[in-house]
Structure formats: structure tokens, C-alpha cells
Amino acid sequence: MPQGFLAFPQGFRWGTATAAHQVEGYNTNNQWWQWEQQPGRIVNGDTSGIACNWWRNAEADFDWMVTLAQNAHRLSVEWSRIEPREGHFDEAALERYRAMVRALRERGIEPMITLHHFTNPIWLEEQRCWLRADRIVPLFRRFVERVVRALGDLCDLWCTINEPNVYAVMSYFGGRMPPGLTDMGSAITVMQNLLVAHAAAYEAIHAIQPRARVGLAHHMRYFQGLRPHLFLDALVARVIDGIFNESLLLALLRGRWHWMLWRGAPVSARKLRATLDWIGLNYYTRQRIAFDHTGGQALFGTLVNTPGVIMSDYDFGEIFPEGLRYFLRKLARYRLPIFITENGLPDADDDLRPMFIVRHLRALWEALQAGCDVRGYYHWSLVDNFEWNEGWRMRFGLIAMDWRTQQRTPRQSAFLYRDVARANALTPEIVQAYTPELFSQVFA
Ligand code: FCB
């Protein structure tokens, strides 16, 4: 191996990640579609509309994946299409998903299927089922069984729930996602129920498909006190880290409820233990926290940007690859395979993304050298897509897309990522071609 060649393990998965509602188009039967129609909910009044037209023609983008030398893709199925009314399953929708997953396989792309990625059928949302374990757990389980029976011959890599912490916090406490509640107690209940629903799905999938590999995508954010000398900043950051980052791992891997989740929990956490075959890490950024004696946004903390650093578009986040290495090393302690199920940034003109990718892949490579068992990396995302309450303005795609014309134009980063996937390595040629300014850092 030439010196300075950062090779990845044989069979490493290079992919991208998407979510049904963000790419399919016309998901009119879920709570997000309803939310988008309400004035003031989405930036610029955007709606998902036709999105990236995947329901009709995901295959066009699957061809792009081939062009970009991808061997993996993480996509999600839309509950509101599959079970449009409670207890009524739509075989045609399942057939469409079969066709999509088959189309991936035919192109040599291994699917990872997410079963819940933020969206719910309207009937389920109207009954506020996520607030009631006795409702949501059997409903989710039945839905999952249906999907696994329909797609199980084409897929064995399942991601039960995307970012339980983000969903619970943003939808029930932050008010930014439907149903737009701002109640900490509800967020805690939903978090508990998401974890219990995950465990039920884990069991159900294995009962149908004993060889299945089941995990979930956990969003971890590197919380750090703003002012290094202030003990209270560090303390609040630590408390928030415990709830947001650690509580899920504690429940699903150690069988213990975090002190914030313990009260009113529907089951003993011991029942949740060992319900992960792998851990999915969604990693984006570092978040600084300042102590605020008036209460702050939550738990006496106010979220602030690190002063003086470059942020991606619209102050979305600081580029902080050290956080990826930190979390990988932390997760490696659980001795399970790890997938990086999301990592990316909004960057319409692509002036930061090449640097972002190279620095994060370097951090990932370092983690691999340190013995972390990382099996794959799914960049968020393949094409620009409907970014929830940010609508169309945040552009996460390796491929730019004008959503009105559906015109795709690959960004430079797409070719960088293709070259890495092809070589299964970060080579001096690649770094020299796309990010020469990083050469000495990467190959130090
Ligand atoms: C994650 C979500 C994903 C996408 C990215 C930018 O939190 O899982 O759907 O919106 O952020």
C-alpha cells in the first residue's frame, strides 16, 4: 500500500441516506403533509409537493448511485402509504417498495430500510398514538411485521426508528415539528414509547427473519460548554448530553432508564436490553451551551454557536469532525458493529462540502485504526430534498436539484465521494484533486 494511502476495510459500505417523505413526493396522507399546509410552519411557505419524485421514479436516482459507485443506500418506507387507514394495508404500496428495493439490488446496492422516519399516518397522529404505549407499541409492531414479511427476501438490514431523541424533542417539546407541542412531559413519554416500540420491533423482526440485522439511527450531538472556565456551562452541557445522547444507549444496551426517563415508564428497561444488533450514528455537528439562570431553552442551557467558526448554510452547524471520532470511539465500547447512518451539511454552492467529507472520512479512518468496527458510511444525502421545517432552502445533496424542474446537477462533492467509494480509500490523488489545502493535514 503506498504510503499515506488511507484504505478502508474490504466490503466497506459507501452509500447515501434518504427518508420517504423528503424524496417520494405527494405523501398526502401523513401528518407532515398537513403541517406543511399550515401557514408559517415551513420556511418560505415551502411544501414537499412532488419532492424528488421517487414514488414514481426513484430508479432515476438509483442510476445516479451507480454513477457514483455506491454499494449501499438507506431509505425509509412510508407508514401512511402502507397502512392508509388503521388496519387496512395497501398491497400496491408494498409492491412499489418491493420494486424499489429490487431495483437497488439489481444495481448492486445494498438496502438498509428505516421503518419510521418522523412521519405518521394521519389516523395515527390524530389519536396521538405516540403518547400512549398501549396504542403505539402493538400498532408499530403490526406495521413492521407487514413490511418485513413483504420485503424480507430483499432486505435483512433494518433500522427501526430514525432519531428517537430528535423526534421526541422537536415534535413534543421544541414545537418545530408536528404536532408542535412544547411540553417536556410529553416529550419524555414519547421518548419512552419510541424505545419500547423499537424493542417490540426488534423482537418482531427477528421472529420473522432470524438472520436480520436490526438497529436504529441515533442522532448524537457533541455538546460542550461555551466558556471553558465556567463550571456551570460544562455542567449543563453534561446534563443535556446525558439525556439527549446517552439515555437511549443506556436503555437499549444496558437495560437502564436514565433518571429523566424513569418516571412513568411503561415497562422495565430491562426488557429493552440487548435490542440492537448494530448501532447507527447520525452525526452532524457540535453544539455549544451557555448556562442561563433564567432557564434557557431547556434545563438552564441556551444553545449558541461557537464564536468565530465557519458555519454551513443558514447557521446550520459548525464543521467539527473531531466529534465523529469521539462518538465512534465511545460507541465502540459496546462492541457492536457501527454504521454512520447520516452525516452531511447544507451547502448549496458546495464550497465547504469537499472539505467536510474529507475531514470526516479522515476522522472515521482514524477511528477504524483505533479498532472501531465501523461497517459503512451513508452520506446525507444523495440529492437536495425537502428538509422538514426548513423546506427547500437547505441543500444537503451531493447532487443539486431544482425541485421545480427536477433537473439534477452533480456537485463536485459527488465526484469526490465517487472516487473515494471506487478506491475504497482516501488517496493522495483524491485529496490533491478536490481539497489540496488539506493534503498535509490528511496525510500527516
Ligand atoms: C436528520 C434527519 C434527516 C435530515 C437531516 C438533515 O436529523 O434524520 O431526515 O433532515 O437531519
pLDDT digits (tens, 9 = 90+) for 290-340: 999 999 988 999 999 999 998 999 988 999 999 999 999 999 999 999 999
CA dist., res. 115 & res. 212, Å (int)? 14
List the domain range (segments joined by +) for residue 321.
Answer: 6-442
Per the structure block, which three cell numbers stand in for 199? Answer: 424493542
Tens-place pLDDT, residues 44-83: 999 999 999 999 999 999 999 999 999 999 999 999 999 9
- The response to whether residue 162 sits with its C-beta less than 6 Å from ligand 1 reads yes
Give the atom of ligand 1 at the shortest distance from the alpha carbon of 163: 8
What pLDDT, on the 0 to 100 scale, is given for residue 5? 87
Task: Report the atom number in ligand 1 closest to the C-alpha of 217.
Answer: 8
Question: What pLDDT score was predicted for residue 298?
Answer: 86
202 CB under 6 A from ligand 1? Answer: no
11 within some domain: yes
Average pLDDT value for the chain:
97
User: Backbone dihedral region of 307: left (phi > 0), alpha (psi from -120 to 50 degrees) or beta?
Assistant: beta
- Examine the pLDDT at 442 and tell me if it is beyond 80: yes
Task: Please report the pLDDT score of residue 4 as a whole number.
Answer: 74
Quick check: 428 and 4 in contact, CB under 8 A?
Answer: yes
Is 186's pLDDT higher than 50?
A: yes
How far is residue 215 CA from its own chain's centroid?
12
Establish if 374 belongs to a structural domain: yes
pLDDT, residue 378, reads 99
Q: What is the DSSP string of 121-180?
A: BHHHHHTTGGG-HHHHHHHHHHHHHHHHHHHTTT--EEEEEE-HHHHHHHHHTS-SSTT-
Ligand 1 neighbourhood includes 166 CB (under 6 angstroms): yes
**In whole angstroms, how large is the CA radius of gyration of the chain?**
21
Distance CA 56, CA 201 (A): 29
In a domain, 426, yes or no: yes
| Structural domain contains residue 291 | yes
257 lines ligand 1 (CB under 6 A): no
Q: How confident is the model at residue 367 (pLDDT cuts 50, 70, 90)?
A: very high
Residue 180 lies in a domain: yes
Regarding the beta carbon of 32 and ligand 1, being less than 6 Å apart is answered no
Is the per-residue pLDDT at 2 higher than 50? no
219 Cβ closer than 6 Å to some ligand 1 atom: yes
Whether residue 381 has a cis bond before it, omega within 30° of 0: yes
For residue range 208-233, list pLDDT tens digits in order: 999 999 999 999 999 999 998 999 99
325 lines ligand 1 (CB under 6 A): no
Give the CATH number of the domain where residue 216 resides: 3.20.20.80
Task: In whole angstroms, give the CA distance from residue 157 to residue 164.
Answer: 18
* pLDDT cut 90: percent of the chain above it: 97
- Is 163 close to ligand 1, i.e. is its CB under 6 Å away? yes
**152 located within any domain:** yes
Contact 252, 187 (CB under 8 A): no
Q: Could you give the number of structural domains in the chain?
A: 1
3 state SS of 378: strand
Give the number of C-alpha atoms closer than 13 A to the C-alpha of residue 334, restricted to the C-beta side. Answer: 25
Q: Is residue 322 part of a domain?
A: yes
Atom of ligand 1 nearest to the CA of 346: 6
**Whole-number pLDDT of residue 3:** 55
What's the whole-number mean pLDDT along residues 84-109? 98
Has residue 1 been placed in a domain? no
Nearest atom of ligand 1 to the alpha carbon of 22: 9
CA gap 193, 171 in Å, rounded = 14
Look at residue 1 in the predicted model and tell me its pLDDT.
Answer: 42
145 vs 397: CA distance, rounded Å: 32
> What is the 166 CA–ligand 1 centroid distance (Å)?
9
Q: Which three cell numbers stand for residue 332?
A: 465502540
Residue 411 one-letter amino acid? R
Alpha helices by DSSP H, listed for 173-320, are: 184-208, 231-241, 247-254, 259-262
- Cell numbers 411557505 correspond to 45
- The H or E element spanning position 285 is strand 279-291
Say if pTM beats, i.e. exceeds, 0.75. Answer: yes
Q: Which of 380, 383, 384, 386 to mutate to test the pocket of ligand 1 (most atoms within 8 A of CB)?
A: 380
The grid cell for 436 is: 489540496
Dihedral through CA 293, CA 295, CA 299, CA 305, nearest 10? -80
Distance (angstroms) between ligand 1 centre and the Cα of 439 equals 30
